[in-house]
């Protein structure tokens, strides 16, 4: 179970400001999601997935990167090819 | 009670960049040096939704090479985990690293202890992880209004080598780092000249007090400086009867000081969990296929046996791969004949002159150094002139001027000891003795200071151009003649 304290703590770590009413709302939403996982836990069957897979590796080969223009497309603010971010501690 | 003169205890966490062509989990090139920000980035290293990491085989091979060279044990099964935290340099809001199942554990590295002799520094573990991006703080960290983010470094493969708290001084920490660098260079998995190729976090305490973590040390010299600062700070606190707080501090390279950090995460805040997009590794059996090259310790022993180097010279020369290779090239034509002089001139003189100029050894031709050593060996020039020739050689390379051979420099500057010089020395000796009859009397009376006094007088007259050995021989001969 997620508590309002958990929500506030994570928000502090992420430097996300949340309003007075929001911890309650987010707590409710998080717990609703977690309840779905409880349902999944009750699904019949062993639940064991056979995944005898190890050492899945690729060769050290260079592939093309995105263009700077494409990379910056989603950024809310940019400067000289950099992504602009708020000041951090 | 904490003792301000208590034993210093240091442990290091060293992050080293593995010199692969592509990043750890994607095909973006790691060579971004001459390109603009955010040009070596793709959906995987940008953490776009749905992108899946694909592990670089060479990074694992390199990490295993290091583990083998450092006598570590490869775990039967290792896996990657997500370390969750929020920071603008971390585009996914988590770093893919290794947590409870690292690639390797145990092992050790031998360093020269402060008391001389070798000392084993035990290692805790080695794990593989990706580097975050790079932040450029605009303006002052305190007052700057924003940061600029470049993700070219995001996903660069690193190994983190964690030591036990086995070092006893800032100097030993630096030696550990230098030895580690040499070992990684010998293994050909690491380029120490690349920007950001090494980053160190250090744990330091005075016995009986809490330990402090110093983060963000990014140079070899920085480690000794940061820790020396910390030792003084902590001892002063203890002396004043204050308690050392367990805390994280940041090293400010430009000012040479550490500053209390504001790291708010506790270990459990990172909410580590196994990376679901990557399968575990079972690579212990690869060890048999890894052939290690000659490593620094073995090469040091060989330099002593094969070239007759002193322990100190062998240590210095083999402490850097390039220097060791350079030395072997310089003496290749006559190992036994050239080694004694070449060892001194490379390990002491050349290294000092390069440091002074902040100059790379790459700019020096081994053949030119051989030429200089030959001139010294044939006693064509004095040691003093040898240094002068070397300086001219280095300055020409540094300024990209046409490089003269040592012979040409000697000729142009008229540095060769000629028969005329012997004449000049003889003349100076004659004058010195005549002008200082008391010194001659002292010499006759067997007072040992007299000879040194006269040597000094002659040196003054010849402006240091006289070869000390030759001067001694000529002066003693002359005094003997007059004694009769
Ligand atoms: Zn990428």
A14-23, B9-18, B60-69: the lowest-pLDDT one:
A14-23
Q: What is the pLDDT of residues B355-368, one digit of tens each?
A: 999 999 999 999 99
Averaged pLDDT for residues A31-55: 82
The length of chain A in residues reads: 89
What is the C-alpha to C-alpha distance for residues B20 and B56, in angstroms, rounded to an integer?
9
Pick the residue with more confidence: B293 or B140? Answer: B293
∠ CA B14-B276-A12, nearest 5°, is 65
Which of B107-116, B133-142, B295-304, B457-466 has maximum average pLDDT?
B295-304
CB-CB: which of B54, B148, B269 is closest to A79? B148
pLDDT at A50: 66
B4-13, B176-185, B277-286, B415-424: the lowest-pLDDT one:
B415-424
- Partners of residue B58 in chain A, C-beta under 8 Å: 59-60
Residue B142 scores a pLDDT above 70: no
**Cross-strand partners of B133:** none
Q: Taking the mean position of all CA atoms in its chain, how far away is CA B16?
A: 14
In this structure, the number of other CB atoms found within 10 A of the CB of residue B118 comes to 9
- Partners of residue B144 in chain A, C-beta under 8 Å: 87
Residue B420 scores a pLDDT above 60: no
- Cβ contact B110:A49 at 8 Å: no
**Cross-strand partners of B95:** B83
- Partners of residue B85 in chain A, C-beta under 8 Å: 13
End-to-end CA distance of chain B: 74
**Domain segments of chain A as ranges:** 4-41
What is the C-alpha to C-alpha distance for residues B72 and B107, in angstroms, rounded to an integer?
4
Question: How close is the nearest chain A Cα to the Cα of B140, in Å?
Answer: 10
Structure tokens at B147: 């940061």
Question: What number does CATH give the domain B419-483?
Answer: 1.10.10.410
How many Cβ contacts (< 8 angstroms) between chains A and B? 121
* HEC letters along chain B: CCCCCCCEEEEEEEEEECCCCECCCCCCECCCCCCCCCCCCCCCCCCCCCCCCCEEHHHHHHHHHHHHHCCCEECCCECCEEEECCCCCCCCCEEEECCCCCCEECCEEEEECCCCCEEEEEEEEEEEEECCCEEEECCCCCCCCEEEEEHHHCCCEEEEEEECCCECCHHHHHHHHHHHHHHHHHCCCCCCCCCCCEEEEEEEEECCCCCEEEEEECCHHHHHHHHHHHHHHHHHHHHCCCCCCCEEEEEECCCCEEEECCCCCCHHHHCCEECCCCCCECCHHHHHHCCCCCCHHHHHHHHHHHHCCCHHHHHHHHCCHHHHHHHHHHCCCCHHHHHHHHHHHHHHHHHHHHHHHCCCHHHCCHHHHHHHHHHHHCCCCCHHHHHHHHHHHHHHHHCCCCCCCHHHHHHHCCCCCCHHHHHHHHHHHHHHHHHCHHHHHHHHCCCCHHHHHHHHHHHHHHCCCCCHHHHHHHHHHHHHHHHC
pLDDT at B50: 92
The mean of the pLDDT values for chain B is 92
Q: What is the pLDDT of residues B127-137, one digit of tens each?
A: 999 999 999 88
Residue B149 to residue A85, Cβ atoms within 8 A: yes
ipTM passes above 0.95: no
Beta carbons within 8 Å of B1's beta carbon, 6+ residues apart: B208
- State the residue for tokens 């300055």: B395
pLDDT at A48: 65
Confidence of residue B299 (pLDDT cuts 50, 70, 90): very high
Residue B55 to residue A66, Cβ atoms within 8 A: no
- Partners of residue A66 in chain B, C-beta under 8 Å: 41-43, 46
pLDDT at B274: 95
Closest chain B CA to residue A12: B264
- What pTM does this model have? 0.84
From the candidates A52, A83, A86, which should be mutated to test the interface with B, based on the most B CB atoms within 10 A?
A83
From the candidates A6, A58, A64, which should be mutated to test the interface with B, based on the most B CB atoms within 10 A?
A58
Cα of A61 to ligand 1 centre, how many Å? 12
Confidence of residue B52 (pLDDT cuts 50, 70, 90): very high
CB-CB: which of B57, B146, B147 is closest to A60? B57
**Domain segments of chain B as ranges:** 8-289, 296-412, 419-483
């Amino acid at each position: 179970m997620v508590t309002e304290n958990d929500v506030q703590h994570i928000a502090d770590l992420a430097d996300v400001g949340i309003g007075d009413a929001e911890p309650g709302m987010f707590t409710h939403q998080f717990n609703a999601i977690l309840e779905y996982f409880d349902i999944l836990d009750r699904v019949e069957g062993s639940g064991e997935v056979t995944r005898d897979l190890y050492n899945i590796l690729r060769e050290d080969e260079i592939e093309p990167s995105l263009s700077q223009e494409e990379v910056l497309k989603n950024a809310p603010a940019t400067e000289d090819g950099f992504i602009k971010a708020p000041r951090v501690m | 009670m904490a003792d301000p003169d208590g034993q210093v205890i240091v442990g290091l966490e060293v992050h080293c960049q593995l010199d692969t062509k592509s990043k750890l989990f994607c095909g973006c090139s790691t060579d971004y040096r001459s390109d603009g920000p955010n040009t070596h980035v793709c959906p995987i290293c940008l953490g776009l939704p749905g992108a899946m990491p694909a592990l670089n085989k060479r990074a694992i091979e390199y990490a295993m090479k290091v583990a083998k060279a450092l006598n570590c044990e490869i775990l039967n099964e290792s896996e990657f985990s997500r370390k969750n935290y929020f920071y603008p340099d971390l585009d996914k809001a988590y770093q893919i690293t290794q947590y409870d199942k690292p690639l390797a554990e145990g092992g050790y590295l031998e360093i020269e202890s402060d008391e001389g002799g070798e000392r084993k520094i035990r290692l805790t573990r080695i794990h593989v992880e990706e580097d975050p991006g790079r932040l450029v703080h605009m303006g002052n960290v305190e007052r700057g209004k924003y940061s600029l983010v470049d993700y070219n470094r995001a996903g660069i493969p690193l190994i983190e080598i964690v030591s036990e708290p086995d070092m006893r001084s800032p100097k030993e920490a630096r030696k550990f780092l230098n030895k580690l660098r040499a070992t990684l260079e010998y293994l050909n998995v690491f380029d120490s000249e690349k920007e950001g190729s090494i980053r160190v976090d250090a744990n330091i305490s005075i016995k009986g007090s809490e330990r402090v973590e110093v983060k963000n040390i990014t140079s070899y010299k920085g480690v000794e400086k940061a820790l020396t600062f910390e030792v003084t700070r902590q001892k002063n606190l203890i002396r004043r009867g204050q308690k050392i707080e367990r805390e994280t501090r940041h090293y400010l390279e430009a000012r040479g000081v550490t500053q209390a950090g504001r790291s708010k995460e506790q270990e459990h805040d990172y909410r580590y969990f196994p990376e679901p997009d990557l399968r575990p590794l079972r690579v212990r059996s690869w060890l048999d296929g890894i052939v290690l090259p000659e490593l620094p310790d073995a090469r040091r022993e060989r330099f002593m046996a094969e070239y007759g180097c002193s322990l100190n010279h062998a240590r210095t020369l083999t402490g850097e791969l390039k220097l060791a290779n350079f030395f072997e090239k310089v003496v290749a034509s006559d190992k036994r004949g050239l080694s004694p002089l070449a060892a001194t001139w490379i390990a002491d003189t050349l290294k000092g002159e390069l440091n002074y100029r902040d100059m790379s050894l790459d700019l020096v031709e081994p053949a030119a150094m051989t030429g200089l050593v030959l001139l010294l060996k044939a006693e064509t020039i004095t040691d003093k002139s040898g240094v002068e020739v070397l300086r001219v050689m280095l300055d020409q390379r540094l300024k990209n001027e046409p490089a003269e051979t040592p012979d040409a420099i000697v000729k142009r500057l008229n540095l060769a000891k000629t028969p005329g010089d012997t004449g000049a020395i003889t003349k100076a000796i004659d004058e010195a003795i005549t002008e200082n009859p008391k010194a001659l009397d002292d010499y006759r009376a067997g007072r040992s200071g007299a000879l040194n006094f006269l040597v000094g007088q002659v040196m003054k007259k010849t402006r240091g151009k006289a070869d000390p050995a030759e001067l001694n021989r000529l002066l003693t001969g002359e005094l003997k003649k007059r004694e009769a």
